[in-house]
Amino acid sequence: MKKIVVLDGKTLGNVDYIKLNEFGQVVYYDLTLKEEVAERVKNANIVLTNKVVLNRENLKDATQLELICETATGYNNIDIEYAKEKNIAVTNVTGYSTTTVAQHTFAMLLHLYDNISYFDNYIKSGEYSKSSMFTNLEMPYKDLCGKVWGIIGLGSIGKRVAKIAQAFGARVIYYSTSGKNSDSDYARVEFDSLLKQCDIISIHAPLNEKTEGLINYEVFTKMKKDAILINVARGPIIVDEDLARAIDEEIIGGAALDVFKVEPIPAENPLLNIKNKERLVLTPHIGWASEESRNRLFTDLLENISAYNRSEIRNRVDI
């Protein structure tokens, strides 16, 4: 019977891990520390990881390891070259969170754009009950219709966001970080042009040498003074210190972030200590994590293992 080791099962929440039993003996861990990895994977045939790093050093004694299942899309935590050397198969899951991340993009944007926190607090504080007016016009907000929405990274999530933005009546343009992406449905522009034109900019690009630190203080100075920036991609694409400064200097209108350079966000991160807190919305990397999204991920993960086993059986029969 194969031994299946789940290294950080807690990161997927309450998915039905019992379904793994059909593939072998399951050893489950909520979380795994760096120094615990080597011992826990030593006798494993299949390993499931989300954020736990698997590399040459901690895999060298895992001589029975056949398959590593990344319980996410990005697999930069896995030493792919070492896996190839040792003929260890590696799988990931794509597409499971496209609609969910797009939904969260708009949830954060509208929360900020419509000043929901202000109006919610206005009523709950009792101030509305004291008012002589049926409405409150002290905190203005704007229509999304007619605005220019810029997308950095027009992949599957970026395209989903573009369609929804159009449904709101916004005009969509995009910037390709690789320089290779082309889509006839939307206008592709250079980076500086995107910065100057857009009322809202959302980031859906991968983290690589072209995107790390892409959004810095100089970039903020080129944006509209009331522009909103949204990042649901990867934290290091934005320089946190520069964003905090830009918000407090009122160089841009505000920002909504679901990802950070270091996660969980350190207490000393300057974004937690800005003066203009009402201009910033922060969520703890949950844009991908609706119940439905996590269940889709786990279902596809089970299919990856099943497909691997079918392939293994077929190969053995052919021999």
- Residues classed as catalytic: 234, 263, 285
DSSP reduced 3-state for 4 = strand
Q: What is d(CA 74, CA 132) in angstroms, rounded to the nearest whole number?
A: 54
In the numeric block, the tokens 């029975």 are attached to: 64
- Nearest to 150, CA basis, from 198, 196, 109: 198
List, as own/partner pairs, every contact residues 137-141 make where C-beta atoms lie below 8 angstroms and the sequence separation is at least 24, other chains included. 139/115, 141/113, 141/114, 141/115
In sequence order, the β-bridge partners of residue 3 are 25
Q: What is d(CA 251, CA 131) in angstroms, rounded to the nearest whole number?
A: 33
HSE-up of residue 32 (Cα within 13 Å, Cβ side): 25
Q: Could you report how far apart the first and last alpha carbons of the chain are, in Å? A: 21
